[in-house]
Amino acid sequence: MNIDALIEGIRAKQNPTVAGLDPRPEHLPAFLLDDAIREHGETLAALAAATMRFNTAILDALHDIVPAVKLQSACYEMLGPEGMAAMRDSIAYAKGLGLYVIVDAKRGDIGSTAECYSAAFLGRVKVGGAEIAPFDADALTVNPYLGSDCVLPFLDDVGANARAIFILGRTSNRSSSELQLLPAPDRPLYRVVGELTERWGAAYIGAHGYSSVGLVVGATQPAEIVELRRHLRRTFFLIPGYGAQGGAAWDIARAFDNLGRGALVNSSRAILCAWQKKGTPEAYADCARAEALRMKEELGRYVTFN
């Protein structure tokens, strides 16, 4: 699905939230892992099975509230082949519930290597006469710091398969300014990346006026959100850093246009780990739902969706 499908999902649910489905072992209620160890032993397969059970319950609890989920690939890669299978199966389960799925893998390489990354997450691989989608995500995060060579191969699948990518622009991590604020030469490097993103995305603008080539802009950088939105009228923003990292709803609101379009706000730990603050292990899915509803209400105070 391209960016139009995401925008329509946001409008239908009146909610620009993407729930980060990034469970680390310490985020899982102990009883889930205990049950999995009884079946699989003390193995990565047990941890992957517990993660999958956790994910499906979270997805069941959230699918009528949020329009999208974002899976951090590293959380699954660390579990080995079983973890990658859990990511594949979680993507399929989420899509079966009608959710837009972003894989946060921050891929960025050149030539045929980038083509392989794109085929894995956004495209298809030929096997004899068949074409198989390995992970079948709707969107992927892409690291642009090798230049256009590492972005252009992804655009083929954006166009051919109606997918989307989100380019790392002004990120929310503390040390991002070490590179992203460097002058290049008359404006910061993140502005250059934003302008390149708008250029790369010019051929992929959908019915709602936004491109399927979007930009990652951290919620912890409110001044840059305003600046980038002023200059990038056609670029859709993926905004991490809300909640646990300190991003506030009133700052994020300036990423949206006057129709409430143009941005998607991520929350991972605040939703997944809500049970650790306001509930019991057995109520983890209900606690996640309550936090997702709270976030929706908070964002709705500052953004109106038309």
Active site residues: 106
Q: What is the CA radius of gyration of the chain?
A: 19
* Alpha-carbon separation of residue 67 from 58, 63, 136, 211, 212 (angstroms): 14, 7, 17, 18, 16
Q: Residue 43: exposed, middle, or buried by beta-carbon count in 10 A (0-12, 13-18, 19+)? A: middle
* Alpha-carbon separation of residue 69 from 7, 153, 182, 269 (angstroms): 14, 24, 32, 13
Q: Which residue has the tokens 């299978």?
A: 85
Please check whether residue 68 is in contact with residue 264, taking contact to mean a CB–CB distance below 8 angstroms: yes
In the chain the first and final C-alpha atoms are separated, in Å, by 21
